[in-house]
Amino acid sequence: MNNKINAIENDTSKTNGVFLGFLKNGLHITPAGLLGLVILLLLPNIAPFNQEYMIRWLVMGTFIAAGAIAFDFTGGYIGIVNFGFHAFVGLGGYTSGILAHRIGLSPWLGLFAGGIFAGALGFVLGVLTLRLRGIYAAVVAWFVGLALMGLATKLVWLTRGPLGLRVDRLFDSPSNKPYYYLIFIIMMIVYLITRKVVNSKIGLAFKAIGQNMEAAKTSGINPFFYRVSNFTISCTIAGFLGGFYAHYYGILTPELLHTTKTVEVLAVAYLAGRASLWGGIAVGIPFVFFTELMRSSLTELPGLNLVFYGLMLVWVMIYYPGGFAMFYDSITRKIKNTSLKRFFRG
Amino acid sequence: MLIKNILAKSTTTAGVVVTISIMVALYSAYDKGLYLAVNTVVMGGMLALMALGLALVFGVMNVAMFAHGEFFMIGSLSAFYIFPPIHEYLVENPNAFLSMIAPLIAILGALLIGMVVGVIVEKLVFSPLRKRSTDNWVMNSFLLTVGLSVILINGHQLVFGTESKTIVRYWSGRPLNIYDVYIARDRIITLFLSGIAVLLFWLFIKYSRTGRSIRAVSQDEKGALIVGINLTGIQMLTMSLSCGLAAYAGACLLFLYPSYPTVGIEPLYLAWFVVILAGLGNIMGAVVCAFIVSLLKVVTEAYVGSGWEYIVPSALIMLMLVFKPSGIFGSAVRGVHEQ
């Protein structure tokens, strides 16, 4: 069955030409997606967007988009809401930051150290909670996030608490541009890794568990194993992203682990559409850009951007659960013109 | 016979935990003074109300409520806007009877507002989702409550501002003197109020016809529908009761927890901790666990220092999940949530 699908895919790739075939089967990007990514790459050089604060927003949006992909990898495929997502981001950030600050480890290695630490915690947490119903994992991850935030506040000798831990930045230049390109590359790698996993046999097991646990069990899938491995991968990515955060902003405060940060990632992931992965990129960057614009232009109405976040989340959850990815899918499905359709749908 | 019964019960996990808690409470009260015990009981009573609502909504509607802290906030906000005007009126026209019941008016007003908010939330949020689809209901409804919480917190900030809105006290008068320990009247009366609420709630659930219907729905939704229970009505009532209880708790504790946008986070966290400890959906177990959690918080603050009350309970809950994932009382209605 699987071979057959591969054969068909190979077949289409031949007819589409080598480049389009590579785009589709190697990078899993549609031509329209490629165009979008090229625009994103050029954006910091184009007039209104080349100001430093705009590039800062772009970095923030790309960071959240990468997080949303990792979040969707768990939430969309195996149906576990990692409600302590930013606890793992924060753990990665603090690991990397403390190693750089105390031992003088290179920030570049620190990114990986952060990923490993967060992945290890994710593994332990997964082993403890994922044999129970999904809501346990969500609630306990939240508890762990609060506990880690408490530790980050209280262990002043290690983390300097609310004063903030100063960390070396990755690049010497004060410009935000190199960081933007770095986080862009990280986001693409995260997308590719998760996409490869999801399209493999393991991904098939993830989808089976997410859709119907009992049926998956009956087919001989061990849900515990797959859920824990999925959770661990997602947490590792979160930790890695945390390392980037630490060495981009140059200062770490316990606020990084706060639940509201998780809610931001969660909102983007679900607005983008569950089990889409690419939706995080398509929605995350414009959405963050828009809400930041709203926040900075309406300073006399603090919190309005977050009310908007919440309203969008509730509205989409009730009336449009497929999110942006489903919307895009249903629109492009109707296109009659073959080459246009291939452009949008790959 | 009685002794044998007590012995048999005390060897279960629940018995062991409760016994240890009582011993810890007695020791800490002896060591650090009676204040500790009073704080534990006041906090525990209010936590019981929060956790009751949480467990009720989870048991009946399968909604893992994350916005429960915001209903607490709504309650304290309502009481803040109801009580001071009456108080000002009283300063000009002293009236002994009115000054006795003025806080009660504020608290009951908050309860009413909370119940109305519950109905609105059910009508606007959960009912549309239920009509559309119940696939993957637990996670979807959980996400909805997250959105609701964000809206309410930031709505409060937008409309009422971030400053703390508080009152000095509800009941004036000298603090009561019990064995040379001075305890503010508010605390004693609050404890009394929470006790009454828990008792009334228990009687309602146990003996009234509507209460029986609520229990029936929590045990088997389809079965309840077949025997002619008005499911929509019960769901609305449950939501309304649960929000009302949280608002009541918020109003009672206004003198301790001033109303500001994120005031609900801590009660929410503690209430969830209670519910997990008691076993998801176990309604009356939550009352006992509320006092255990409150003791844990107060003792942690007294012996380890403030700020650690997030860390110690989380570590304990991880330990508990290793050994007894179904909670110390076990959840009797576990089967329903698997659906």
Question: Could you tell me if residue B103 is inside a domain?
Answer: yes
Quick check: A138 and B142 CB within 8 A?
yes
A23-37, B56-70, B201-215: the lowest-pLDDT one? A23-37
B322 to chain A nearest CA, in Å?
6
Residue A10 lies in a domain: no
Residue A7: inside a domain, yes or no? Answer: no
Residue B335 is assigned to a structural domain of this protein: no
φ and ψ at residue B7, rounded to 5 degrees: -60, -45
* pLDDT value of position B169: 75
Give one DSSP letter per residue of B238-267, joined into a string: HHHHHHHHHHHHHHHTTTTS-B-TTTTHHH
User: Which phi and psi angles does B284 have, rounded to 5°?
Assistant: -80, -25
How far is A303 from B145, CA to CA, in rounded Å?
Answer: 18
Q: Give me the phi and psi of A252, to 5 degrees please.
A: -120, 125
Instruction: Please report where in the chains the tokens 């942006």 appear, as a residue.
Output: A324
Tell me, yes or no, whether A5 lies in a domain: no
B288-292 long-range contacts (CB < 8 A, ≥24 apart) are: B288/B14, B288/B18, B288/B329, B289/B51, B289/B328, B289/B329, B290/B44, B290/B45, B290/B47, B290/B48, B290/B50, B290/B51, B291/B21, B291/B40, B291/B41, B291/B44, B291/B47, B291/B48, B292/B17, B292/B18, B292/B21
**Domains identified in chain A, total number:** 1
In 3D, which of A248, A224, A235, A197 has the Cα closest to residue A116? Answer: A235
**Distance in angstroms (rounded) separating the CA atoms of residues B89 and B107:** 18
Query: Of the candidates A150, A263, A302, which has its C-beta nearest B311's C-beta?
Result: A150
Domain of residue B250, CATH code? 1.10.3470
Q: If you ran DSSP here, which 8-state letter would residue B63 be given?
A: -
- Burial degree of B189 (CB within 10 A; 0-12, 13-18, 19+): middle
- The range of the structural domain enclosing residue A334 comes to 16-345
- The reply to whether B271 touches chain A by the CB within 8 Å rule is no
Cβ atoms of A123 and A132 closer than 8 Å:
no
> B57 CA to chain A: closest CA distance, Å?
14
B339 in any annotated domain: no
User: B326 pLDDT exceeds 60?
Assistant: yes
- Rounded to the nearest 5 degrees, what angle is found at the Cα of B237, between the Cα atoms of B236 and B239? 65
Tell me, yes or no, whether B337 lies in a domain.
no
Specify the pLDDT at position B242. Answer: 92
Tell me whether residue A53 is in a domain: yes
Chain B interface mutation, best of A139, A224, A274, highest count of B Cβ atoms under 10 Å:
A139
* C-beta of residue B12 within 8 angstroms of C-beta of residue B326: no
Q: How many CB atoms lie within 10 A of CB A33?
A: 18
Are the beta carbons of B128 and A129 separated by less than 8 Å? no
Please give chain A's pLDDT, 346 residues, in tens. 444 444 444 444 445 567 777 777 777 777 788 888 888 888 877 777 778 788 888 889 999 999 999 999 988 888 888 888 999 999 999 999 888 888 878 888 888 988 999 999 999 988 888 887 778 888 888 888 888 888 888 887 887 877 778 887 777 777 888 888 889 999 999 998 998 888 888 888 888 888 888 888 888 888 888 889 999 999 999 999 998 998 888 888 888 888 888 888 888 888 888 888 888 888 888 888 888 888 888 777 777 878 888 888 888 888 888 888 888 888 888 888 777 777 777 7
Work out how many domains chain B is built from and give that number. 1
- CATH code for position A160: 1.10.3470
**Does A3 reside within a domain?**
no
| Chain A residues contacting B via beta carbons under 8 Å | 75, 79, 81, 128-129, 131-136, 138-140, 142-144, 146-147, 149-151, 153-154, 259-260, 263, 266-267, 270, 301-304, 306-307, 309-311, 313-314, 317-319, 321
ipTM of the complex in this document: 0.83
More confident residue, B239 or A173: B239
- How many Cα neighbours within 13 Å face the side chain of A247? 33
Residue B273 falls inside a structural domain:
yes
Chain B partners of A309 at a C-beta cutoff of 8 Å? 147, 150
Flag if B318 and A144 touch (Cβ within 8 Å): yes
Tokens encoding A183: 């986080």
- In angstroms, the first-to-last Cα distance of chain B is 41
Express each pLDDT in A180-227 by its tens digit.
888 999 999 999 899 888 888 888 888 888 888 888 888 888 888 888
Q: Is residue B181 part of a domain?
A: yes
Nearest alpha-carbon partner for A69 in A204, A186, A227, A202: A186
Q: Side chain identity at A219, as an amino acid letter?
A: S
Are the C-beta atoms of B287 and B198 separated by less than 8 Å? Answer: yes
**Gap between the Cα atoms of A66 and A87, Å rounded:** 16
* Contact criterion met (CB < 8 Å) for B150 and A319: no
